[in-house]
Amino acid sequence: MPKANKDIRAKEVRLVAENGEMLGVMPIFDALKKSEIAGLDLVEISPQAEPPVCKMMDFGRFKYESKKKMQESKKKQKVVVLKEVKFRPNIGQNDFDVKVRNIQKFLLDGDKVKISLWFRGREIVHNEMGKLLFQKVIDAVGEGAKLELEPKMEGKQMMMIMVPKAAVLAGGE
């Protein structure tokens, strides 16, 4: 938050009027007096300049407007969430279709999707079934997504991560 009025520690400041007119370089005492006469606050706009730039304005209104701008910028940010969809090696066709629809919905919402396949007991011996299932998922999702992480084994699970194509283009690829 910028400094205002008596908090400004510079000896000289470059003063700007409320309408944007440059009033020139003057001692801080004179600048404070001019802003007081105008019924406004003296706000340090550019503290790193030599001498610092100060503007006569309503400080309360300035704080309110900057808070509003921050809230607006937060609204416009899209937070990418990692959603997870779990599969089993011997999944039925209807269950498979439902999970693929969920994956497509998550990708359309702009979220990353972690697809994991859990093996139990001796199923781990047939990890080629997992690779086939993942290929089937990739084919079913289609062109709407790109693999961020290729299918790989981690302990008793196989996993991969898909991201929406739009996120890949925005990411700079």
Cα(106)–Cα(127) distance, rounded to whole angstroms? 26
Same domain, 94 and 165: yes
> Is the pLDDT at 171 greater than 60, yes or no?
no
Q: Domain check: are 95 and 162 in the same one?
A: yes
Number of domains comprising the chain: 2
| Residue 3 pLDDT greater than 70, yes or no | yes
> Do 60 and 92 fall within a single domain?
no
pLDDT tens per residue across span 65-122? 889 988 888 887 777 788 999 998 888 999 999 999 999 999 888 889 999 998 888 8
- Among 74, 97, 116, which residue terminates a domain? 74
Q: How far is CA 20 from CA 10, 11, 16, 141, 170, in A?
A: 21, 22, 6, 56, 38
Of 47, 74, 101, the last residue of a domain is: 74
Q: Which domain holds residue 145?
A: 82-170
Per-residue confidence (pLDDT) for residue 65, from 0 to 100: 87
User: Do 119 and 156 lie in a common domain?
Assistant: yes
Question: Does residue 57 sit in helix, strand or coil?
Answer: strand
Last residue of a domain, one of 17, 48, 74: 74
Which CATH number goes with the domain that contains 89? Answer: 3.30.110.10
Q: What pLDDT was estimated at residue 80? A: 77
Residues in the chain: 173
